[in-house]
Structure 1
Amino acid sequence: MKQTSLIAAALTLGLGINAHAATFAYISSPGDGLISQYRLDQNNGALDLVEQYNAGDQVNPMAITPDGKVLFAALRVKPFQVQGFSIDPKSGHLTPLSKAPLAESMAYLSTDREGRYLLGASYGADTLSVQAIDSAHQPSSEILTYKTGLHAHSVRTDPSNRFVYAGNLGTDKVLQYRLDHKTGALTPIGSGFVKVTENTGPRHLAFSPDGKYLYVVGEMSGTVTAFSINDSTGALTEIGVANGIPERLKLAHGEVRDARNNDLKDDPTPRIWAADLRISPNGKLLLMSERTSSSVSAFAVDLSTGELKFLDNYPVQEQQPRNIAFSPDGQWLLVTGEKSDKVGTYAVSDDGALKRVGEAASGKGALWIEVLQTSAN
């Protein structure tokens, strides 16, 4: 009887925790320097704007620490720096916590899986950076930097936290490193990279939940390249490429873009301009955003082989969608549009089909999305 009572109590406690869980989204908008906090209703996908914080001019990439306690946000104007905000565990409210220099203007920000290091990728300076994060969540002013080929666009550690990978858009390479847990130093694995098809433009990364596979979106090709990860060495081996751009979109191959021609104003040709890549929590679905057509493409993931199968492409209302993000249960997808004044919520079906169910006002030029599930009153 006593054991039964304990089990019942545990179940009740578990249900209580779930019942009071809250899902928050934080979205940066460099056009007005804001970080907007939203609350996502996990029951129906409704999205409510809670609060907006003046983070600083050109606030862009962000990262939440693995413990969910701190949000880091990079400012892309001189002096380049990262702002740290503590996250209230109940309300999700942000409070300024720390500041630290960054090596360059960062297009991508992440932490390692233990929250001990802050990693950055600089598109304009062709650089990766690593800096330690202390126990008070203060990033170090001492920064390790690594020169890459043209246009580093992302950097992330794998689920085992032993390896680091980076998308190097301008060289059609995916960089591969081993992470030194004591110093944060990156050591090249083998030659330090794997090549992809010319004019692919490796951009953002996604890992399978079991850490066996890495997926890389091609900004210029609209394809996703799948790699297996050697469990011992971290070396990547290409296992397949899936095209996410159906012919009906009538998009020409993309081109490398930078500060000189970011909008290709002198080129009227509609071109592929893929952006973000996200994998569902159960690992069965991969979604890719495409800016020119304002759409999201869905791929099925074979859990046993890591191979991809294109499912379909779905239009979204957010114009020029940049980042997308799954809710923690994979039921909803958040979409920002650089040229939209709304953030949208979409119900995600098992086959990747999207149905818009909610929206909220966004900041100007909304880009980066970080989602956090926490406790609430």
Structure 2
Amino acid sequence: MPTPPSIGAIRVLTGSYTPDSGGDGTGVAALLLDPTTGRMKYDDQVKPLPVSGASFLAVHPSLDVVYSTNETETGTVSVVAHDGDGNLSPLGDPVSSGGTNPCHLTVHPGGEWLLTANYGSDAAPGTVAVHRLAADGRLLEPTDLVVHQGSGPVTGRQEGSHAHQVLVDPAGRFVLATDLGADAVITYRLDTRTGTLERAAVNPMRAGSGPRHLVFAPGGDLVFSADELSSTVTCHRYDVTDGTLTALSAVPATVARDVVNQPGGIVASPCGRFVWVTNRGADTIAAFRLAGTTLEPLGEVPAGGTWPRGLTLAAGHLLVANQHSGTLAALRVLDDGTLDQPHPPLTAPSVVCALAL
């Protein structure tokens, strides 16, 4: 007999690489997280949905709809509906993402536009695409596609542009897109009548840093970047009037010196005092305290597996998607910003991201 969800349990969706995208995961799966204890279990009342290459998930701001990248060379986006019981179902067929290897997406706060970052490939540059959304959340026609240009000094990673993340600033005024290959963050204005992007600023990052993901501090005036290729975390001043970034300070993402390390996911606390980052290579989660505009290391804890990629905050816990070991860990956030792991991680083959509903 199926086990009923715990009272107060939080529903969590995970995304994983599937056999057709180089992994052995199921696509999108449903879990339950106990917010008090941090225990996780699969929701045995909800069947996984075989979404190809589900490497990033984003929720619609007002509908019971989730969007998933299908990270393959062909590049598509899937729409997943979920009902009150947590059941998952496809909402229409996958739609072209406007590029190859889509790796990140977000819904504009108004709920009418989906923005997707396509990493690209050796032969294709990174792109950012915009799709119109129907009233029920379905993907409609693409309304814009911008092609990134540029390169960097790191051989094998920066011969061309690689869009890695696209997000909307807290005021909803600008769209920021990181480009790991070009060492830049590009700021756009989104015309919410036509769904077109206008370039507002190009923010150069340190050469060879490879900016992967950004996160805003709650006040919106500071932005933190996980710099994949330099293994650093940088604090930037954000100008809300023109969307420009100014680097203020940078710290190593890990104290480990005997491994090649690549920071991945980055999260800021709702109180604005702490920042956490995943370290792929060191296989840790590093905690930092914000002191003015400088990040002070608070220490690192094991990630609960190898190659921690996705990181998300849910009910006082950081959910860590460990891609290579196929484990999902729930790390409890303590009052001082440090972390502990009260329970063993959950087996989740080729897991790369998690999303709390």
Which of the five TM-score ranges fits, normalised by the shorter chain?
A: 0.7 to 0.9
What is the 5 A alignment of 1:1-377?
A: 21-30=8-17, 31=23, 32-50=25-43, 51-67=46-62, 69-77=64-72, 79-88=74-83, 90-99=84-93, 100-104=95-99, 105-124=101-120, 125-149=125-149, 150-189=161-200, 192-246=201-255, 249-251=256-258, 270-302=259-291, 305-327=292-314, 329=315, 331-359=316-344, 361-372=346-357
Letter of the 1:35 partner, please give it: V
TM normalised by structure 1 equals 0.81
1:5 paired residue number: none
Determine if contact 1:203/1:218 at 8 Å carries over to the other structure.
yes
Give the 3 Å change call, closer, same or farther, for CA 36–318 of structure 1 in structure 2: same
- Percent pairwise identity: 25
**Post-superposition shift, 1:61?**
1.7
Q: Gapped runs of 5+ residues in structure 1?
A: 1-18, 252-269, 373-377
Give the 3 Å change call, closer, same or farther, for CA 95–358 of structure 1 in structure 2: farther
After superposition, the C-alpha distances for 1:76-120 in whole angstroms (9 at most, x for unaligned) are: 2365322211222x3332222223332123011111122221111
Alignment RMSD (CA, Å): 2.0
Separation in structure 2 between the aligned mates of residue 132 and residue 244 of structure 1, nearest angstrom = 37
1:9 paired residue number: none
TM normalised by structure 2 equals 0.85
| SS, match of residue 179 in structure 1 | strand
- Which deviates further from its counterpart, 331-340 or 309-318? 309-318
Determine if contact 2:166/2:178 at 8 Å carries over to the other structure.
yes
Q: Gapped runs of 5+ residues in structure 2?
A: 1-5, 18-22, 150-160
After superposition, the C-alpha distances for 1:339-359 in whole angstroms (9 at most, x for unaligned) are: 223211111113332211234
User: Which protein has the bigger helix share?
Assistant: 1
Letter of the 2:237 partner, please give it: S
**Post-superposition shift, 1:163?**
0.5
RCO greater where, 1 or 2, for CA within 8 Å and sep 6 or more?
Answer: 1
Pair member with larger Rg = 1
Separation in structure 2 between the aligned mates of residue 79 and residue 244 of structure 1, nearest angstrom = 33
